[in-house]
Amino acid sequence: MSNKSLFDIAEHFGFDAPATDIRPLGEGFINDTYIVTTAKSRYILQRKNHIVFPDVEAMMDNIWRVTAHLKAKVVAAGGDPEREVLTVIPTNDGKLYHRDGENFWAASLFIEGSVTHNTADTPRLATMGGKGIGKFQAMLADFDELLAEVIKGFHNIRWRFEQWDKALAEDKAGRKAELTEEIGWIESRRAKMLAFWELVERGVLPMRVTHNDTKLSNILFDQNDDVLCVIDLDTVMSSTSLNDFGDAIRSYTNTGAEDDTDLSRVSMNIDTFRHYTEGYLSERGSTMTASEKEWLAFSALYITFEQVLRFLMDYIDGDTYYKTAYPTHNLVRTRAQYRLLQSMEEQYDTMQQIAKSLI
Ligand code: GN1
Ligand code: MG
């Protein structure tokens, strides 16, 4: 993108002064992100991926409503709403995004002095990550409006199984015959996973605001490594908040890589599970229902299972969703996530004991 056109885009937003500098920030896979400097402040400017998020207007409306709710909570607690919550900057004509031909752009305030981390290398970081997501959810526990479903059936295993059955029936890449063992991993757990989702469908597990991308790098810390706020709100939707707990456990506790070729490196670190759960419950325990508490440990197995299914399904489909670096990449990811799932299943009784002892 040329700098001239970036400056043209920036002019549409309600920044406090004209942009003097615009440069790329980070290496996100989905959106393109820039940092904009004016004489007084800095801002984040993002080109939103219109393929992954077909309804940018609904997505930005979700973000606006959720951040408004959070800001009211922070103000009531005497905090600083511009540091403890993401601040969306509307356009000069009051819209939440700017459309420039094919592209959709949105802006937010850059939080000065903030720090991010990529891996939970210390117990404190795992605990603080749990606190960050726990506090985010606790402040949203009384948000009772439904949010737009920006990605259909994202963590809905009934919908995922519909896609799965179709993928197997079509066998687009002709790979099904070689995958008898891997397909068996999915089929043998079908009933158990659907039984969990049925609790959501029946309202036993309540619908809440979910973040849907709870990796550690989506939390901003201050200079003392205390949590400032949760960022990357593109996927906020309504679902069971257990999904956010489960997805964090899937990413924080893995002793190997998501696409590790050496399965002996992959396992769930039970101490990291304990530290994350401790932090999470310290903020969120008092707003959880009894059924949410009961299914906490299982949610990690559920989300990890779903990830095995999604990677394998993409391999069967001929690698159309996830970016791949080599032809069997999705199969390698499938096997590595399956190893993680097995490790969780082996340690499930301990996970439950830990969760119970902390509640
Ligand atoms: C995608 O690109 P990233 O890391 O934000 C995916 C997640 C998966 C993850 C697996 C919108 O997230 O659901 O868990 O890959 N996001 C979307 O690495 O599909
Ligand atoms: Mg993301």
Across the range 31-41, mean pLDDT stands at: 95
Residue-level pLDDT at 61: 98
* Mutation test residue for ligand 1: of 59, 149, 213, the one with most atoms within 8 Å of CB: 213
Residue-level pLDDT at 151: 94
pLDDT band at 348 (very low <50, low <70, confident <90, very high): very high
- Which residue lies with its CA nearest to atom 7 of ligand 1? 213
* Helix 157-170 with 190-201: angle, nearest 10 deg: 140
- Domain parsing of the chain, residue ranges: 3-109, 123-358
* Mutation test residue for ligand 1: of 30, 230, 306, the one with most atoms within 8 Å of CB: 30
Ligand 1 closest atom vs CA 52 = 11
Three-class DSSP category at 352: helix
Q: Do domains 3-109 and 123-358 have the same CATH topology?
A: no
Protein residues near ligand 2, an ion, with CB under 5 A = 213, 232
Nearest ligand to the C-alpha of residue 322?
1
Nearest ligand to the C-alpha of residue 248?
1
Nearest ligand to the C-alpha of residue 329?
1
Select the more confidently predicted residue: 177 or 118: 177
Nearest ligand to the C-alpha of residue 257?
1
Which two structure tokens, joined as six digits, stand for 189? 């757990």
Residue-level pLDDT at 58: 97
Across the range 243-248, mean pLDDT stands at: 97
Closest CA to 266 of 328, 346, 186, 212: 346
Residue-level pLDDT at 359: 87
Ligand 2 centroid distance, CA of 46 (Å): 13
CATH architecture of 3-109: 2-Layer Sandwich (3.30)
Ligand 1 closest atom vs CA 247 = 14
Percent of residues, the chain, with pLDDT higher than 70: 99
Three-class DSSP category at 55: coil
Across the range 222-231, mean pLDDT stands at: 94
Which two structure tokens, joined as six digits, stand for 116? 């991010």
Predicted TM-score (pTM) of this structure: 0.94
CA 316 to chain centre: 24
- Which residue lies with its CA nearest to atom 8 of ligand 1? 307
Ligand 1 centroid distance, CA of 19 (Å): 32
- Which residue lies with its CA nearest to atom 11 of ligand 1? 52
Residue-level pLDDT at 347: 98
pLDDT band at 174 (very low <50, low <70, confident <90, very high): very high
pLDDT of 263 above 80: yes
Closest CA to 305 of 222, 229, 242, 247: 247
Q: Other CB atoms closer than 10 Å to residue 245's CB: what's the count?
A: 30
Classify domain 123-358 at the CATH topology level. Aminoglycoside 3'-phosphotransferase; Chain: A, domain 2 (3.90.1200)
Residue-level pLDDT at 73: 97
pLDDT of 327 above 90: yes
What residues flank ligand 1, with Cβ below 6 Å? Answer: 29-30, 52, 213, 258, 307
Ligand 1 closest atom vs CA 212 = 13
pLDDT band at 2 (very low <50, low <70, confident <90, very high): confident
Q: Where are the beta strands (DSSP E) in the chain?
A: 19-24, 32-38, 42-48, 88-89, 98-100, 103-109, 208-210, 219-221, 227-230, 237-239
Q: Other CB atoms closer than 10 Å to residue 95's CB: what's the count?
A: 14
- Which residue lies with its CA nearest to atom 2 of ligand 1? 29
Nearest ligand to the C-alpha of residue 254?
1
| Residue 129 CB partners (closer than 8 Å, separation 6+) | 120, 216, 219, 248, 252, 276, 279
For 85-112, what is each residue's pLDDT tens digit?
999 999 999 999 999 988 999 999 999 9
Ligand 1 closest atom vs CA 250 = 14
Ligand 1 centroid distance, CA of 67 (Å): 22
Q: What is the mean pLDDT of the chain?
A: 96
pLDDT of 30 above 90: no
